[in-house]
Amino acid sequence: MEELAGGETWRVFRIMSEFVEGFEELKDVGPAISIFGSARTAKNDWSYKCTVKVAEELAKRGFAVISGGGPGIMEAANRGAQVAKGVSIGLNIQLPKEQKPNRYQDVSLSFRHFFVRKVMFVKYAVGYVIMPGGFGTLDEFFEALTLIQTGKTRKFPVVLMGKNYWRGLVRWMERSMVGQGTISPEDMGMFHMTDDADAAVEYIVQFHRDAVLPVGERRKRSPLPETTEPGR
């Protein structure tokens, strides 16, 4: 029992070290957008090309881009940020089937624990872009809505990209969740769905232009960059 207790104690320190490393590496990143989507997406897929464009345009506006650091949509996000000479960040995760980090990362962190990595995604982001993806993408999408709905985080723009992919889920949410009263009708306004990369970027920019935050909730840095020039 003593050995077990000691092992669990050291596990706490390992978890703390991941938090500390993440906080130290990302503390000066400025306003960033986290982009999520499938690691299985091919380079010739619409969603890969769209992600590159979205990330590129966000970087041109002065936003850093954060991805999960792996292949597919994650690679496209980091690639688009680098095309615009913006800040490209990858939050890699150690998996039984090893995730190979993509080569388009300026800042690359590796995490053992999903929950630590998830904190970094939301802590340093002023917006989410959700591309077509699997369980992990859905997890990030619904966690964002939960945090916003419960007031555990500031309200921030959440964009679903790919109407054909997400329409069935959104219809189910309206019919089942709103229909049966498990969420409120206004909760459906916590995200925006589009197919247009430029429209997605403009939605995020306009959201922050219109946002009026209480003084106590304002960050040291404005959620909008002071310049629209690429990079920082």
Q: What is the CATH number of the domain that holds 164?
A: 3.40.50.450
Return the pLDDT at 216. 40
**Are 55 and 65 in contact, with CB atoms under 8 Å apart?**
yes
Residue 16 belongs to a domain: yes
Return the pLDDT at 177. 98
Q: What is the pTM of this model?
A: 0.85
Residue 98 belongs to a domain: yes
- Structural domain range at position 19: 2-209
Q: Whole-angstrom Cα distance, residue 108 to residue 23?
A: 13
CA distances from residue 74 to 13, 66, 70, 96, 221 in whole angstroms, order as listed:
29, 9, 5, 19, 26
Residue 226 belongs to a domain: no
Residue 228 belongs to a domain: no
Return the pLDDT at 228. 34
Element (H, E) at 161: strand 158-161
Return the pLDDT at 143. 96
Return the pLDDT at 96. 77
Residue 70 belongs to a domain: yes
Residue 220 belongs to a domain: no
- Tell me which amino acid residue 24 is: E
From the list 125, 7, 4, the residue with the least C-alpha distance to 67 is 125
Residue 36 belongs to a domain: yes
Q: Which two tokens stand for residue 107?
A: 């800042």
Return the pLDDT at 217. 43
The contacts of residue 171 (CB under 8 Å, 6+ apart) are none
Return the pLDDT at 95. 82
**Are 34 and 77 in contact, with CB atoms under 8 Å apart?**
no
Q: Give the distance between the most distant pair of CA atoms in the chain.
A: 58
Mean pLDDT of residues grouped by 10 in the chain (232 residues)? 62 89 90 97 98 98 96 98 97 81 94 91 96 97 96 95 98 98 97 98 93 44 39 32
Residue 159 belongs to a domain: yes
Q: Whole-angstrom Cα distance, residue 142 to residue 139?
A: 5
- Tell me which amino acid residue 222 is: S
How many domains in the chain?
1
Q: Which two tokens stand for residue 108?
A: 């690359």
